[in-house]
Amino acid sequence: PRARAPLRGAPADTAHGRGPRRGAGRPRARPRPPIGRARAAARHCGPRADRRRRSRAMSGSPVKRPRMDSALDQLKQFTTVVADTGDFNAIDEYQPQDATTNPSLILAAAQMPAYQELVEEAMAYGRTLGGSQEEQIKNAIDKLFVLFGAEILKKIPGRVSTEVDARLSFDRAAMVARARRLIELYQEAGVSKDRILIKLSSTWEGIQAGKELEEQHGIHCNMTLLFSFAQAVACAEAGVTLISPFVGRILDWHVANTGKKSYEPLEDPGVQSVTKIYNYYKKFGYKTIVMGASFRNTGEIKALAGCDFLTISPKLLGELLKDTSKLAPALSAKAGACCCLRGGASGGAGPRAGRGSLAPLPPAQASDLEKIHLDEKAFRWLHNEDQMAVEKLSDGIRKFAADAVKLERMLTVSEGVRPGRLRASGQGRGAPRFSSAPPQERMFSAENGK
């Protein structure tokens, strides 16, 4: 219908029959004074606030929720996280501080097609230095370890650990010489020795080699294959930079040699071993860094949260990254700063894993450990008393030595290959084999275990 004309004398707001505007003709109200913090807070509480929140929820408005930090992010708040891998392309996602390698990890990475250029570069380096076949192999392997380490250092802000041949584990002088050679190769590549940790087996000879390298050459050492308390005490007295007590391999031995097949994280004998070592070091003021290693599940890692360093495989780093459960430090040097997962932890080996709760633990300073001193005779006796440690140290040396042999076979010297004429045939697990050439020149071919 046609709109009616506004009444004569009526205000404009009454046009088209809308009637006078609410409040028209009255003086404008003064603006409200700013409310205090207490009143502002009250507006977000009480029944009215609840009704507003329910109304927003029913209307489909997005509700902001705080982002949950992953277990890996939480762990980094009180422990330095180290990546345990030779596959440097897998490091970026987890952003570790440091990285560790060993012959087994380098062997696995060297067989990946992505790293064949490094393998060929190491082979060419060994050939260039010349000498006997054995010398060329040794030089090529040292160069390969350094090439992997240098690439890893491009992706981390801290240090990388490079291991001395495990077959030298009972030769102090040979370990010192090999370690110095590795440092020379790193320096030739433009890497400072302060960014390198030389890994040595924690035999008596290895520990003394570490002491000499630290004191006389300023080379930082990482003592590996550490299973006994005697090894830890001797390393502390030698003043090495870092130790790597193994967790998972200790668990493996107990599962294989006792009637118990599963353990809660805090009952895990590997976790208990590292906890004892950590408490001993902190109680008596040793500066050597404790870095737990060789984990079988994330429950072990969580039970050692607060340890100086933890070196973790990419697989378990990935699990921690997806885990958003609450994590608190389990180890502490100071009183009142420690809480721990009791009765299980997510990722644990036991049947009740995942049902843990937080409870306080005594700090390292409150432990009842007594300080001891070990000379060579005392060390050998105390270590020998630990059957697990004796067997696992021996087994670890043999396994690393076996992988070193496999790596050598990948780089076996063959007669009759012309330098610069490398031609991969695609045989083996990604490792190159090469075509023949005049016999007066030598170079490396990958025999890949044959």
Walking along the chain (450 residues) 10 residues at a time, the average pLDDT comes out as 54 50 58 57 62 60 66 97 92 94 93 93 94 92 97 97 98 99 98 98 99 99 99 99 98 96 96 97 97 98 98 97 95 62 40 42 80 98 98 98 93 46 38 35 34
What CATH fold (topology level) applies to the domain 71-406? TIM Barrel (3.20.20)
Q: Return the pLDDT at 22.
A: 56
Q: What's the Rg (C-alpha) of the chain? A: 32
What are 327's two structure tokens? Answer: 């994590």
CB 80 within 8 A of CB 309: yes
Look-up: residue for tokens 């790293």? 115
Angle at 207 between CA 366 and CA 108, to 5 degrees: 100
Distance from C-alpha of 233 to C-alpha of 286, rounded to nearest angstrom: 10
What are 290's two structure tokens? Answer: 């404790």
Q: Return the pLDDT at 368.
A: 87
Look-up: residue for tokens 């160069």? 143
Catalogue the active-site residues. 199
Contacts 24+ apart (CB under 8 A), 397-401: 397/166, 397/169, 397/201, 397/203, 397/225, 399/104, 400/102, 400/103, 400/104, 400/163, 400/166, 400/201, 400/225, 401/165, 401/166, 401/167
Three-state secondary structure along the chain? CCCCCCCCCCCHHHHHHCCCCCCCCCCCCCCCCCCCHHHHHHCCCHHHHHHHHHHHHHCCCCCCCCCCCCHHHHHCCCCEEEEECCCHHHCHHHCCCEEECCHHHHHHHHCCHHHHHHHHHHHHHHHHHCCCHHHHHHHHHHHHHHHHHHHHHCCCCCCEEEECCHHHCCCHHHHHHHHHHHHHHHHHCCCCHHHEEEEEECCHHHHHHHHHHHHHHCCCEEEEEECCHHHHHHHHHHCCCEEEEECHHHHHHHHHHCCCCCCCHHHCHHHHHHHHHHHHHHHCCCCCEEEEECCCCHHHHHHCCCCCEEEECHHHHHHHHHCCCCCCCCCCCCCCCCEEEECCCCCCCCCCCCCCEEEECCCHHHCCCCCCCCCHHHHHHHHHCCHHHHHHHHHHHHHHHHHHHHHHHHCEEEECCCCCCCCCCCCCCCCCCCCCCCCCCEEEECCCCC
CB 418 within 8 A of CB 437: yes
Bridge partners, residue 81, by sequence: 310
What are 448's two structure tokens? Answer: 């890949």
pTM for the full model? 0.75
Q: Return the pLDDT at 350.
A: 38
Distance from C-alpha of 135 to C-alpha of 126, rounded to nearest angstrom: 8
Distance from C-alpha of 199 to C-alpha of 246, rounded to nearest angstrom: 14
Buried b (16+ CB within 10 A) or exposed e, 422-442: bebeeebebbbbbeebeeeeb
Amino acid at 448: N
Residues 6 or more apart in contact with residue 6 via CB below 8 angstroms: 12, 14, 15, 16
Amino acid at 426: G
Buried b (16+ CB within 10 A) or exposed e, 16-52: eeeeeeeeeeeeeeeeeeeeeeeeeeeeeeeeeeeee
Look-up: residue for tokens 């083996």? 428
Q: Return the pLDDT at 90.
A: 86
Q: Return the pLDDT at 425.
A: 35
Q: Return the pLDDT at 449.
A: 35
